[in-house]
Chain A
Amino acid sequence: MDIKDFIAPFAVWKRAFEKPFTVKKPIDERPGAPRYRGFHMNDAEKCVGCGTCEAICMNKAIDLVPLQGRDPKEGDSGLRPRMDYGRCCWCALCVDICPSGSLTMSNEYLWIDSDPDVYRYTPGVDSKPWDGSELGYRRAEGYRLLEMEREKMPELGHTEAVKSFLELIKGYSREQAEKEADRCVSCGVCIASCPAHMDIPGYIKAVRDGDMDAGLRILYETNPFPEACGRICTHLCEEACSIGTGGDPVAIRWLKRYIADQVELSDYAKALPRMEAPTGKKVAIVGAGPGGLSAAYYLALLGHDVTVFEKEEAAGGMLRYGIPEYRLPYPALDKDIGYIESLGVKIKRGKAVDAKNTLSKLNSGYDAVFISTGLPLAYGLEVPGDKHPRVLDGVAVLAAATRGEALGLGKRVAVVGGGNVAMDATRTALRNGAKVDILYRRREEDMPADKEEILEAKTEGARLVEKAIPLEVRDSGDGGVVFVWNEAHMVAKEPGKRPVPEAIPGAIKEERYDCVISAIGQGPDLSFVKESDGIEIKRFKPVVDSSGKTSVPTIFAGGDLTNDKKDAISAIADGHRAANAIDRILSGKGA
């Protein structure tokens, strides 16, 4: 001990003259740091209710609750996360993982209330003083817990692709598929948007787990065309995908294809459910397209004796005759159809049900009938000269290409229309060495074709002429035609509705083509239905209820014929629904 040890402690007194560290009113004067993990905020418009926040929350502090008083849009579950501050630990993993980025935190941390229930609230729905706060925790820029970029699909390359009908999309390798499947958060928002309501998270999980048999089983629960849909589906699911709200949607379609590609047809039977015992009931199906064959598959599975009538020499309908080989190679389609046939479904190829061989004949010989004849008749251009022999019908061109017939399109081709048939015709013509112009009466963004189809057609060298109203087709005198169109501009006539094209007076253009392919839509052919059949028909379509039943209780219809969505997956869904309804009637379980 020295003297210093006695004196030094008195040095504390110097602090008495210094400014104190403490503040007088800490509640008022201490805002949280700009990055503070305070109370949650949610942009309820941006949020799609995918529930990834709920899945990652380690304390189960988040529950998804229905959004009251608001109709959810497509791809929105209609649920919003509700926080329970009795459980929350403010780790902000929910903010880090949120695919849409709607969930954030404010830097507010004081909330005093005598009612303990108020601490369970739905951010963004229950308004709070901190809503819209600029400060608070945000995930680090450029760092996401989820992979927002899609695994790149190996492709043939457009310069190479246009030279042949080889399949453009090569398909994922195992490593790529598993990596892509890992991006999915299993929110299931996609299920509602899929017309067939496929269990998408279920089969993506099968890819992750590397269990292809389980994957195939899940696919076949709702869709007996995985090879086809894995290639050409309109993938409404991907538009709804919650990962798509903040990046590229999961490549659901390619993953479906991956599963189907991995299993050999000979191994399908091992993975898929067995047929039930024969019921002795006979069902006739008109048209072997995706709708008809789906109904056939599910009916056969339930033990019914199914016969499919197909006017063409091969089954598949528009999948075969409407979709070119480079998008859906025939062996892939044959695999899907092959499995359906292996269940004992009889497909009578080249046997049309038509004006001679009518529906009433079928109806008497079978217990139930499903009509899925699609839309085989192409609409005409309805302009002077549209009957010229060099004005071709798009669907017919595609069918001829499928049959391997010489198309004789010539060097310069005009394709009129903006749907998928127009794009397929364009790309088929390109592959036949033609130079192609696509003429569409509205703008590119109005085109009903898939965006990627349009993009690919353009990449492959097609020229898009927008706002072109067809006026006339004249003979050019040298074996071709002169196509005349009027340039248009878009006029918004009614507020809230999409603008319509209006011809610009005098802006007439014309060009010589070797042929014009008209692809502006198709209509049904119901020549085999007679009035005596008693089927109620409205606007050239049979009137059906939600199960596909017409006004005759044993006759059902579905697919493009009745479904305005006009895509394969909707037809498949119709087929499945009708099969279940037919089964209920045949087994006496009631409609």
Chain B
Amino acid sequence: MKREKAYIIPPAERATPDLASGKYLVMWQGPQHPGITGNMSLKLVVEGDSVVDCETHVGYLHRGFEKLMESRLWMQNFPLVCRIAVPEPDFNEYCYAAALEELAGVEVPARSVWLRTMTLEMIRLASFLMWIGGQAGAFGHGTIAQWSVTMRDYVLDLFEELSGGRIYHMYIIPGGVRADVPKDFFKHLLDTLTIIEKNLDDIELVMFHNVVFKMRAEGLGYIPKEWVDTYGITGPNARATGIPRDLRKDLGYLAYPQLDFEPITCTKSDAFGRAELRLAEMYQSINLIRQMVDKMPSGAIREKLPNPLYWKIPAGETYVSAECTRGEYGFYVVSDGSDKPRRVVVRGPSYTHAVSVMERLVRGVNIADVAGLMVSLHTYPPEVER
């Protein structure tokens, strides 16, 4: 594959608009803006209604998680990490727990591995449901957002039933999972999946066979295949270029090797193509959850760990990653053998999508489509800066 040379827009290429000419306007989109998927902002230089240049600004959401974790016990960090990415807390929980288990040499029971996989697919579904609402909303289809957010709430109901929390589940604990499924949970889960599937059929009809959506999304934000390695694009944004890159398959972590699925790809690689791909992945998630309910092994759900107040993890470092809705989510954890992490670095896939890729793609786009473009990259500023 041909590799792009310049992957950061060099200063020379930056537009230096002559504002006095009256031809250009500098405007800020965000940090509070419905078209921004969290607190970040785009400094746009526009000419008429099209964007000439864009500079992304982050820094509104820096909460210092990584530093904070260095002063807390290993176990105390487990309720903290989920807060890094609000719509998908479970990937943080999984990566953190798996990193600790790897460093400490803990083998978790089979059932907990499957329950972890199940929760990760459930939250993938919930996250995509929220995304599709945003994507439709950004193009003016508020109705679909109403439907999909309701469906997401149904998944959150399931999480509430399973873990006791709707948003921050704190379910994947180092050593396994916090609790076994409650009575009738699988039935509720399968019933909910049926409802969601039916809704997705409706969404598919009214969104993807909608002349407005097609006209605005097709051709918007085209990512060439060559950019994937250049920018480190992962997840659906990469798969939409036709590259079958999916950590679930490539790394084969958790229970994924025992599940029947293939990475979904497409070649459109524009906002429409990525939306179609994500819709297909929602069906795929539903299918995976159904498979897991069928194959779920029985047994223990947690491995006994030392007293969390003094738990020391042998010195070492590891990188654990997982395929989240946006791409490769990773935790790099360093232990110096003490009862607290020496360093934790979180890799949020949105970093490259929301900053470098966005700056490149937004040039020439109509102002009204900037929000739609941003959502089509499915970025979460909370994971960009932690």
Contacts and interface: CB of A to CB of B under 8 A. Distances in A.
A55 B309 contact: yes
| Interface size range on A against B | 35 or more
A352 interface: no
Given A33-B164, A58-B77, A93-B75, A140 B306 contact: no
Interface in A1-52: 1, 4-6, 8-9, 11-12, 15, 21-22, 32-37, 52
A58 B72 contact: yes
B163 A5 contact: no
Interface stretch (B44-52, B177-185, B244-252, B328-336): B177-185
A183 interface: yes
Given A5-B209, A93-B79, A185-B309, A147 B170 contact: no
B150 interface: yes
Interface string B168-182: 101000000011101
Query: Chain B CB within 10 Å — which of A6, A12, A52 has the most?
Result: A12
A32 B160 contact: yes
Given A56-B75, A58-B76, A58-B77, A147 B307 contact: yes
Given A1-B211, A5-B214, A33-B164, A147 B304 contact: yes
A92 B163 CA distance: 11
B209 A8 contact: yes
B309 A35 contact: no
Nearest to B165: A37
Interface in A490-515: none
A4 B209 contact: yes
A35 B157 CA distance: 11
Interface in A182-232: 182-186, 208
A146 interface: yes
Contacts of A145: 75, 305, 307-308
Nearest to B307: A182
A90 B165 contact: yes
Interface in A69-103: 89-93, 96-97
B176 to A, nearest CB: 8
Contact of A91 (B170, B302, B307): B170
A33 B160 contact: yes
A74 B361 CA distance: 70
B301 A143 contact: yes
Contacts, number: 104
Interface in B191-232: 202, 205-206, 209-212, 214-215
Contact of B80 (A52, A58, A147): A58
A9 B170 CA distance: 39
Nearest to B304: A147
A211 to B, nearest CB: 14
A137 B80 CA distance: 19
A533 B212 CA distance: 111
B310 interface: yes
A4 to B, nearest CB: 5
A11 B308 contact: no
A33 B156 CA distance: 11
Nearest to B79: A91
Contact of B164 (A21, A92, A184): A92
B162 interface: yes
A1 B214 contact: yes
A440 B209 CA distance: 92
Given A33-B160, A140-B178, A89 B210 contact: no
Contacts of B160: 32-33, 35-36
A12 B206 CA distance: 7
Interface string B299-323: 0011011111110000000000000
B224 to A, nearest CB: 25
Contact of A56 (B179, B306, B308): B308
Contacts of B307: 145-147, 182-185
B210 A5 contact: yes
A92 B170 contact: yes
Nearest to B210: A9
Contacts of A37: 164-165
A35 B162 contact: yes
A4 B214 CA distance: 12
Interface of B: 72-73, 75-80, 83, 143, 147, 150, 157, 160-165, 168, 170, 178-180, 182, 202, 205-206, 209-212, 214-215, 301-302, 304-310
21 contacts: A1-B214, A8-B205, A9-B211, A9-B212, A32-B160, A33-B161, A35-B160, A36-B164, A52-B309, A55-B309, A56-B308, A89-B79, A89-B83, A90-B168, A91-B78, A93-B79, A93-B308, A140-B301, A143-B301, A183-B307, A208-B310
Given A93-B78, A146-B307, 10 more contacts: A5-B214, A9-B206, A9-B212, A21-B150, A35-B182, A58-B79, A89-B79, A89-B83, A147-B307, A182-B306
Interface of A: 1, 4-6, 8-9, 11-12, 15, 21-22, 32-37, 52, 55-56, 58, 89-93, 96-97, 105, 137, 139-140, 143, 145-147, 182-186, 208
